[in-house]
Amino acid sequence: MKTSHLLIVFAIVATILPAATMATEYIVGDDKGWNVSVDYNAWASDKVFNVGDILVFKYDPPHNVYSVDAEGFKNCTPSQKGWTSGNDIITLATPGKKWYICGFGQHCATYGQKLVITVQGGDAAPAPAPGDPNQNGASGIASSWYQIIVVAAMAVVGLLI
């Protein structure tokens, strides 16, 4: 392959790779999985969850997972939406608080099998103060322009060599 072609391939990979690897997959509870008597507050405390990231709940029956609201989380009341596969893959599609509980027996109420996280990013992020130079929208646009410029520059260099 010609050097110029290699450069173009490199430019494309360098541009696409960061975007493709941005989503993070979290195994809830890590090697403890989704179980009774695991401190999910502690588990979540050192993590930043972004829109597009993935939660994987790993467990054996009779556990399950319900997505609930703040009230359901507080009172440990399972709601409409549940999973039971034991390897539940949940994509964090929207920003904001997300609450999950185990709906079996007293696992949530007595054994603390509940998880609350805050998903960052997207439109529901707090509106930046007027004149704030760190506005999300502006930096997003700046970063896509950056990627386009990098690719264009690499392509031009590639064609000249």
Ligand X SMILES: *[C@@H]1O[C@H](CO)[C@@H](O)[C@H](O)[C@H]1NC(C)=O
Contact positions vs ligand X (CB under 6 A) = 32-33, 35-37
């399950």: which residue's tokens? 64
Cβ nearer to ligand X, comparing 51 with 113: 113
Return phi, psi of residue 65, to 5°. -135, 130
Q: Which is nearer to Cu ion, 110 or 144 (CB)?
A: 110
- In 3D space, the residue among 51, 4, 38, 15 whose CA is nearest the CA of residue 145 turns out to be 15
Residue 102 binding Cu ion, by CB under 5 A: yes
Residue number with the shortest CB distance to ligand X? Answer: 35
- Any residues with CB less than 8 A from the CB of 74 and at least 6 apart, and which? none
Q: In angstroms, give the least distance from the CB of 124 to ligand X.
A: 35
Shortest Å distance, C-beta 37 to ligand X: 5
Neighbours of 32 (CB within 10 A): 16
- Determine which residue in the list 8, 49, 90, 107 makes contact with Cu ion, applying CB under 5 A: 107
CB 64 within 8 A of CB 106: no
Binding Cu ion (rule: CB under 5 A), the pick from 58, 63, 98, 114 is 63
For binding to Cu ion (CB under 5 A), which residues are involved? 63, 102, 104, 107, 113
